[in-house]
Amino acid sequence: MMISTHVRLVVLAWSLVAGQVAFAQTFGSIDGEARDVTGAAVAGVTVSATNKGTNAARSAITNDAGAYSFPSLAPGAYTLRAEKPGFKTVVRNEIELQVQLAARVDFELQVGQVSESIEVRADAALLVTDNATVGTVIENKRIVELPLNGRNYLQLVSLAPNVSTGFAGQGQAGARQGGIRAAQTIAVAGQRTNFNHYTLDGVENTDPNFNTFVVLPSIDALEEFKVQTGVYPAEFGREATQINVLTKSGTNQYHGALFEFFRNDKLDATQYAFSALRPSKDPFKWNQYGFTLGGPVWLPKVFNGKDKLFFMANYESYRKRGSTTALYGLASTQIQGGDFSAIANKIYDPNTHVLGPDGKTITATPFPGNIIPQNRISSISKQFLEFYHTPTLPGSINNFVEAQPRPENRDQFILRMDYLESGKSNWTGRYSWGDENSSSPGLNLNGTKLLTNFEQYMGTNTRVLSPTLVTETRFGYTRFYNSVGTLLAGVRNVVDELKIPGLTGGAAVGWGIPTVSIPNYQGIGDGTDGPFVNTNSSLQFLNNTSVTRGKHSFRFGGEIRRDQYNQVGNQYGRGSFSFSTTPTWDPATSSQGDAFASFLLGNVTLTEAAAQIAAVQYRQTSFAVYFDDVWKITPNLTLSLGLRYENTPPWTDQSGNLTTVFYNAYDTTPNVVDHSRYPVFLRQGKGTGDPYAGLKVRWPNIPLVQDGRLGDSLVHRDNNDFAPRIGIAWSPSPKWARWVSASLR
């Protein structure tokens, strides 16, 4: 049960109106024609569009075809006004423009005086008749009012058709990124969950590691978002699915909310006590609280301060406290001390192995009394027992129970400013910050902890150069830090304390307890995965320009971006040691023995350790350009043509340690003499010295070369990524439309 207290600072709820935003991904547009009662096109009609939330106004003049266009309009409620001497003024109220909606609003002008007006109120949703793009908008009302577990707006993506959610998460993402990002599963149109592309206010909001989102805004800070797949305009690219999100702006009225949502075990029903191990409810506390406030900023009169500057600020905190009941099967106190007299299996001394008279059979002698002498127990194994426990319940299965806390914390803040310089220039800036941390403890100091922090900066300007020419320029910078490590990372160097031969603790980020696997008993130590630490960033600059000529609406632009992807970590950094019954069994019968006895004696069956912690410093500079033409052939038939070109080079490792296996796939002629045709390990760059310089790994049977044949990226660059788009929209009547579209990528 979710209990909420919602204190409204004002009686009115947040308006569905947003101020001017400068992003193609989150803009909408209004186009149409002006005709007289005979159906003839009327040129020279002044059409104005006024945002009801901010009073921001734009104007356009119909051309010889009677067409007008308002590209790059912020979603919100608009009033359209058409006037020309000799005709009555026509006013269209309550035009609700959604994100990326290409709305069509036509005017029929009647002969009369300009002072006479005809007012039309839009009562129905606007029909998309001018392009073949199909998508689903989740508007503010549904975002705020529908119940959301954890107030995560991405759950509403499932309201769009052809979307699957709630399936198992990505395995590697859970282990190597963790947190709410790895838990989010969205598959659109049958695509993988990591084929989604997230943008926030039109700037990049996708982390390059697993293509997860970076910023997850509070639902109180959102205006709406749109899910697109299939064929969409050429200005979009990179992934199969676009999830474009728009934050709210302030308006010319103050609106705000102070809220808290909470759950508590005191409010939950008593659970069924299926055993004496869990006689009562697990403790559980969950609080989400924060505020949202937005409105006008009054500037001095010298700046003509009214309806100029608006702000929106939002903060949300997430605190979850709970625990899970964990059951373990531990070795008894006697066994941990080397006394195996209580078990049926005999423990054989591996030091007494003797080859029998037949020259084939190996025999061994059991430890007297099934007790391992104290001087035979490995000192390293004794140290490992610090990270173990002694049973608290009878038996050898589920003989230790404990409640393990699982704290989760998230904080985030958004500040957005909108400045309406004039009817021809609008500015927007936004700063987002967030932090997430959680821990998942295991048995006695082992477990994992997650640390995440991000910042995102955005700035944009939309400028009307003429009634038929609008350009928008924006930049975005996103910094994302994510670390998944052990509870003891940066706290305690257990590996160096144990003094295991050939193994060192290394950097503090990799500290933790080595993995010890003991069949039939609970193991010791942390898992073999990690640490994994990512410090990523993305800087991008974009421009989109819209031009109206006759019956054509042209849109073109491009993007250049610089991405950094830095990662440290891999598996087996702390070492992994597996024990079995083999060292302490009867070698003549391959029976008896005990894995825990092998552990106490230090007789390892399998050892795995990383030669070194992997570290990469990937860099990439990519760009894309596009061109779109929406051609209104007839009033009810529209042809959309687009072409996008992307150039995304492979990553280059700044550390110079990138290696790969190279072989000539087309060299199928057998030749054992010419070694130059053999497969090799290839290192980036073109070096003249030792190709192993700086590397701890060695490949004794296959040479490592550094001859520059594949450059620094070790992957050839693809310069042929063209993506044409074509779509046809036909509207037999004002009440319905049909689309046919195709894309080649």
In one letter, which amino acid is 435?
A: D
Q: How confident is the model at residue 23 (pLDDT cuts 50, 70, 90)?
A: very low
The CA-based angle 171-508-533, given to 5 degrees, is: 35
530-587 confidence digits (pLDDT tens): 889 999 999 999 999 999 888 888 999 999 999 999 999 888 989 999 999 999 999 9
182 in Cβ contact with 174 (< 8 Å): yes
What pLDDT is recorded for position 488? 95
Predicted pLDDT at 608: 94
pLDDT tens digits, residue range 197-217?
899 998 999 998 888 999 999
CA distance 177 to 452: 9
The two three-digit tokens of residue 9, written as one number: 């600072």
pLDDT attached to residue 4: 36
How far, in Å, are 32, 132, 152, 580, 674 from residue 103 at the CA level? 8, 12, 29, 70, 67
State the average pLDDT for the chain: 85
Say yes or no to pLDDT of 313 above 90.
yes
Length of the chain: 745
Task: For the beta carbon of residue 149, count every other beta carbon within 10 angstroms.
Answer: 8
Calpha distance 589→586 (Å, rounded): 6
DSSP designation for 150:
T
Write out pLDDT tens, residues 38-71.
888 899 899 998 888 788 888 888 988 888 888 8
Q: Pick the more confident residue, 456 or 640.
A: 456
Tens-digit pLDDT profile for residues 329-384:
999 999 999 999 999 999 999 999 999 888 888 999 999 999 999 999 999 999 99
Q: Is 669 exposed, middle or buried (0-12, 13-18, 19+ CB in 10 A)?
A: exposed
pTM for this model (two decimals):
0.82
Q: pLDDT digits over 258-296, tens only?
A: 999 988 888 877 766 555 555 566 788 999 999 999 999
